[in-house]
Amino acid sequence: MAYGWIEALRGLPRMLIEADLKPVQGDRFQPTGFPDLGAATYRLPDGTEMLLVESAQSVANRLEAVCWDEAAQDLAEPLRGLPYGRARLVKADEEFGFTTTLHEAHRLNSPYFMLASQGDLLDRVQEESGLQGGKRQRQRSGAQDEDASAAVLHFDLARLARTLFKYDPNSLLHGVFLEKLDGRARLQRTLSGFIEAREVAPATSGGVKNDRISPSGDTSLGYGNVPFSRTEYVAQQITAYFNLDLAQLRAYRLPDPGFDLLVTLALWKIRVFLEEGLRLRTACDLQCREVRVTKPEGASLPDRAALEEALPQLIEACRPHFADPPVSEVVWSEKAKKGS
């Protein structure tokens, strides 16, 4: 089945999207902050004061978060059937929760998958991708030194991509570095984004944590009145930017219609993030005023209903190329953490 947004992107190297944002109430907002740095402010050569509102790393996490239905503890309904990894977490022979490749910062390279005590997900990825195993094999076997006699194998990026498409296609959008299997096994993000503000100024305020019982108590123990300062910002313009690397997706040589599925999934993530995911922090609740495609000219971001109609069809069409069952389960235990 042909989809208009796919046909509009045939042969193009990338798709660029911008969205104008504003606070849902008032004008002030709180940007992301960094240890020992605080807010990331900078000045353009023409003197314009700029501010990084949300980093590429954080936007990637938020684009993954929209895929998960917390109430159902499952993928969002339009994505059901999409493969991913699930690690059951065990301590003292009691299961206390789970994590998935959608939740882990490094996806399949998370220790909860790499050092799983049960399940062969990473063994299958390693074998089907033609990777060497490297650090993971040494960690699991207890060996300390790298085997200098290990064969140096040809690394096929497209083969790795097709394997990850089978087990965890989200990794192809948000990137993964399987350095414990092979130091060459790195896929960069094909979908990236960030939010920045233009012509910004600080809005400094403050407050007091009141202790009505012991206002002059020992603050190191949590007692006493504690004054604090707070810096928020106002801006003339807040813009979210998204970049979908179509050329890299094509280079993976995915089975049909893998390319169509990943493009549609990426656009759905952007659309849902702009509609539902812009409460970045308590004091940074934004809304989308307008969204536009800047490349290619004349294109537009499909509406959510069209994308959600297409996704189940594309997932079903790709089912022969997916793991069966689509959720690959492993078990991580406290013993694995201790290396025993």
pLDDT band at 340 (very low <50, low <70, confident <90, very high): very low
User: Is the per-residue pLDDT at 237 higher than 80?
Assistant: yes
Predicted local confidence at residue 144, as pLDDT: 53
pLDDT band at 152 (very low <50, low <70, confident <90, very high): low
Q: Count Cβ atoms below 10 Å from residue 263 Cβ, excluding itself.
A: 23
pLDDT band at 227 (very low <50, low <70, confident <90, very high): confident
Predicted local confidence at residue 335, as pLDDT: 74
- Of all residues in the chain, the percent with pLDDT exceeding 90 is 79
Predicted local confidence at residue 65, as pLDDT: 96
**Average pLDDT rounded to a whole number, residues 135-163:** 65
pLDDT tens sequence across 41-85: 999 999 999 999 999 999 999 999 999 999 999 999 999 999 999
Please give the structure tokens belonging to residue 112: 């909860």
- 176 Cβ contact list (under 8 Å, min separation 6): 106, 107, 108, 109, 164, 168, 185, 186, 187
Q: Residue 304: name the closest of 316, 319, 288, 318 by CA.
A: 288
User: H helices of the chain, where?
Assistant: 4-7, 56-65, 111-114, 121-129, 134-141, 157-167, 170-174, 246-251, 258-276, 304-318, 334-338
pLDDT tens sequence across 153-197: 678 999 999 999 999 999 999 999 998 888 899 999 999 999 999
pLDDT band at 112 (very low <50, low <70, confident <90, very high): very high
Beta partners for residue 87, in sequence order: 99, 330
Contact 101, 85 (CB under 8 A): yes
- The pair phi, psi for residue 330, each rounded to 5°, is -130, 170
User: Is the per-residue pLDDT at 133 higher than 70?
Assistant: no
User: Is the per-residue pLDDT at 39 higher than 70?
Assistant: yes
Predicted local confidence at residue 149, as pLDDT: 41
DSSP three-state, residue 39: strand
pLDDT band at 21 (very low <50, low <70, confident <90, very high): very high
Q: How far is CA 212 from CA 209, 215, 217, 225, 228, in A?
A: 10, 6, 10, 8, 17
pTM summary value: 0.90
Contact 84, 168 (CB under 8 A): yes
pLDDT tens sequence across 255-299: 889 999 999 999 999 999 999 999 999 999 999 999 999 999 999
Q: How far is CA 309 from CA 77, 265, 266, 303, in A?
A: 11, 12, 14, 10
More confident call, 2 vs 336:
2
Estimate the crossing angle of helix 157-167 against helix 121-129, to 10 degrees: 150
Please give the structure tokens belonging to residue 104: 């882990």
Please give the structure tokens belonging to residue 146: 């790298």
pLDDT band at 143 (very low <50, low <70, confident <90, very high): low
> Is residue 135 left, alpha or beta, with left meaning phi > 0 and alpha meaning psi from -120 to 50?
alpha
**Average pLDDT rounded to a whole number, residues 101-116:** 93
User: Is the per-residue pLDDT at 200 higher than 50?
Assistant: yes
- Pairwise CA distance, residues 309 & 5, whole Å: 13
Predicted local confidence at residue 337, as pLDDT: 63
The domains of the chain are located at 4-338
